[in-house]
Structure 1
Amino acid sequence: MPAKPLSIGSLHFAKKGDAAAFLQAMLHRYDVGDKVGAADEQILRHALALHPEADVKVGCGITHFSVRSADFGTKCFWINRPDGTTEKFSYKACITG
């Protein structure tokens, strides 16, 4: 099966695995509890738009992204909304759709 290219905003990847590696490296640059920086936030907004449940995940909007604990001792990106609620999301789901 040939590799499937993927674009996340202005970033273009030759295959989905390259996009996954990029987002995983981004996640691991942050510690649990960190707020995601402005440049990475823009990339995450574009990635989140590819998520199959993007509308539900975004809800009433996004104030910022953070990195927090997830299931089984892992960490993941979280959406922080204007109403104070939060929602975790998987960057892998953004890539695989």
Structure 2
Amino acid sequence: MPAKPISLGSLHFEKRGDAVKFLKEMLYRYDVGDRVSSTDSVFLRAALENHPNAAAKIGCGISDFSVRTADYGTKCFWVNRTDGTTEKFSITESIRGV
């Protein structure tokens, strides 16, 4: 299967796997409880818009992103909505549509 390119904000990746790697490296730069920087939020917003359930994940609108705990003691990105609600989302699903 040929590689599928993807763009996240101003960054272009020849392979979706490279975009997943980029976002995972971003995730591990943050500690649980950290708010994601405005620079990194641009890429997360672009990734979330590719998620198969983007409309439900985004809901009423995005305020910002944070890093919190996820299942099985891992950590993941969470979208913080403008109405104060939050939702976790998968990097892999956002990029690969899995």
Question: TM-score, length-normalised on structure 2?
Answer: 0.94
Counterpart of 1:55? 55
Question: TM-score, length-normalised on structure 1?
Answer: 0.95
Q: Residue deviations 1:20-58, cap 9 Å, x none?
A: 100000000000000000100111111111001000001
Contiguous gaps of at least 5 residues in structure 1: none
Q: Percent of aligned pairs with the same residue? A: 65
Q: Which runs of 4+ in 1 moved over 2 A?
A: none
Contiguous gaps of at least 5 residues in structure 2: none
Q: Residue deviations 1:42-78, cap 9 Å, x none?
A: 1111111100100000111111100000000110000
User: Could you say what the CA RMSD is over the residues aligned between the two structures, in angstroms?
Assistant: 0.8
Structure 1 residues 22-33: aligned runs within 5 Å: 22-33=22-33
Number of residue pairs the alignment of both structures matches: 97
